[in-house]
């Protein structure tokens, strides 16, 4: 078994408000077997030879970061949807156009490049909110899970872990209008047939696991919500759901069901510790109470929420209610967990016109252990004995981070400052370059194919 000793100039250890200097991290195969903060100055009194074989990690070493909400194919839209005015709904039409062009092979190529881009950003695990299931017009592939299998293989080739959040998507609106056009590729007919398709799928490789998702109250009729939730509960699998992303969703739900989307989910057994609500941008005070009382998590996606003009959610109020917060890059307007994390604090400042809502340690938790937990990987996201050997080292000498205290990386660093990434004990990014994938070239190739008229 491969054993490695890593000497971190600084490492952010669990429960610490700030990084600890000079930490020896020992790994065997895919696990952390030792974490030793050294004496002041970073060298034991009894001999430097003890550290002679250690791999130096200059800068700040963080645990692996988790992207709890991804739509991989949305990456093809980056920088292409800004002409003229519009909102989420006009953006969605352009997204459907890309969805209509994908097939299993092209999706594998695109997703591999996107997941490799995530690796460059320090992301070691991704939750893929996957609803692009079938062929044009809704026709099934010979393997009904071919698109999901492509995503699993893409993550394997990119070198990161994946929770495939297979998404039930049945209707086009809260009042049950049928799927049309590219949306037909998303549907299984009803929740029972969705569950049957998913039961027939076992992801290849230990890097991937299955979870479930309810697209939204727009896309799954109320009478079928419990079917999806029960599938996840039986499997002890994570369950995710888009929630209150736009005020229009809340208004439509009240018009049809006489309650908010959060209340509807609560009434049908969807909320709970294994559930993560994505966005939760426009909850009522009662909604926040329901989420907090049930310990349902919330995944914030700040760069997408502002890119789509969705609004700013009440992050601090949700955290104070006991809601675990995680982070996602969603539409991949950018893939930068440092930007997502600091946006939680900075957007709250805009909303309240006050500073100082989240500590750097809280932002780290949202970007790491809370995200992994939301995806069902409770043994990741901490530099701790027994956890997965995921280490993300950030430079402290770039033009962005020079002179910054180590804890200040959340307000200064970008993905360009990620120097090395170790996933399950294996170096995946070295000197800022992916060791397997020419990421920029593969993105160009894949996006050109799916956006060509």
- Catalytic (active-site) positions: 279, 330
H or E stretch including 46? none
Q: What is the DSSP track for 348-415?
A: HHHHHS----S-HHHHHHHHTHHHHHHTT-TT-SS-STTSB--EEEE-SSSTTTTT--GGGGGGT--G
Cα–Cα dist 301/311, whole Å: 11
Tokens of 228: 């999806």
Q: Scan for tokens 């049928």, then name that residue.
A: 178
Instruction: Tell me how far apart the alpha carbons of residues 300 and 344 are, in angstroms, rounded to a whole number.
Output: 8
CB of 156 within 8 A of CB of 426? no
CA dihedral 336→338→344→347, nearest 10 degrees, is: -80
Contact of 391 with 25, CB cutoff 8 Å: yes
Burial of 70 (0-12, 13-18, 19+ CB in 10 A): buried
CB atoms within 10 A of CB 444: 12
Neighbours of 261 (CB within 10 A): 28
Q: Are 121 and 337 in contact (CB under 8 A)?
A: yes
């Amino acid at each position: 078994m491969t054993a490695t000793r890593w000497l971190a100039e600084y490492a952010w250890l669990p429960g610490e408000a700030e990084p600890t200097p000079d930490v020896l991290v020992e790994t065997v195969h895919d696990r952390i077997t030792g974490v030793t903060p050294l004496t002041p100055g970073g060298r034991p009194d009894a001999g430097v030879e003890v550290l002679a074989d250690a791999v130096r990690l200059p800068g700040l070493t963080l645990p692996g970061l988790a992207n709890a909400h991804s739509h991989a194919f949305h990456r093809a839209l980056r920088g292409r949807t800004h002409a003229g005015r519009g909102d989420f709904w006009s953006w969605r039409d352009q997204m459907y156009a890309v969805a209509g062009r994908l097939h299993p092979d092209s999706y594998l190529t695109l997703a591999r490049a996107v997941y490799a881009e995530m690796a460059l950003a320090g992301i070691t695990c991704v939750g893929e909110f996957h609803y692009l299931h079938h062929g044009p017009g809704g026709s099934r592939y010979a393997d009904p899970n071919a698109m999901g299998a492509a995503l699993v293989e893409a993550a394997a080739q990119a070198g990161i872990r994946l929770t495939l959040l297979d998404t039930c998507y049945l209707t086009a609106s809260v009042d049950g209008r049928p799927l049309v056009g590219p949306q037909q590729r998303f549907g299984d007919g009803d929740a029972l047939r969705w569950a049957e398709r998913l039961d027939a799928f076992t992801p290849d490789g230990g890097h991937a696991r299955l979870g479930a998702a309810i697209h939204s109250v727009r896309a799954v009729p109320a009478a079928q919500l419990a079917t999806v939730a029960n599938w996840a509960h039986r499997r002890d699998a994570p369950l995710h759901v888009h929630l209150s992303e736009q005020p229009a969703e809340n208004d439509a739900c009240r018009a049809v069901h006489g309650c908010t989307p959060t209340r509807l989910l609560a009434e049908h057994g969807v909320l709970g510790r294994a559930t993560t609500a994505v966005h939760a941008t426009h909850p009522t005070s009662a909604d926040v109470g329901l989420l907090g009382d049930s310990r349902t998590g919330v995944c914030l996606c700040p760069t997408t929420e502002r890119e789509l003009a969705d609004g700013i959610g009440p992050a601090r109020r949700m955290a104070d209610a006991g809601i675990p917060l995680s982070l996602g890059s969603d539409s991949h307007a950018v893939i930068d967990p440092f930007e997502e994390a600091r946006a939680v604090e900075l957007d709250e400042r805009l909303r309240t016109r006050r500073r100082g809502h989240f500590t750097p340690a809280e932002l780290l938790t949202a970007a790491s252990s809370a995200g992994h937990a939301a995806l069902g990987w409770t043994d990741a996201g901490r530099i701790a004995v027994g956890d997965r050997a995921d280490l993300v080292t950030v430079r402290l000498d770039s033009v962005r981070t020079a002179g910054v205290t180590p804890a200040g990386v959340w307000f200064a660093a970008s993905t360009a400052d990620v120097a090395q990434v170790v996933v399950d004990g294996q170096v995946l990014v070295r000197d800022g370059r992916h060791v397997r994938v020419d990421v920029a070239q593969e993105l160009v190739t894949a996006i050109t194919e799916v956006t060509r008229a």
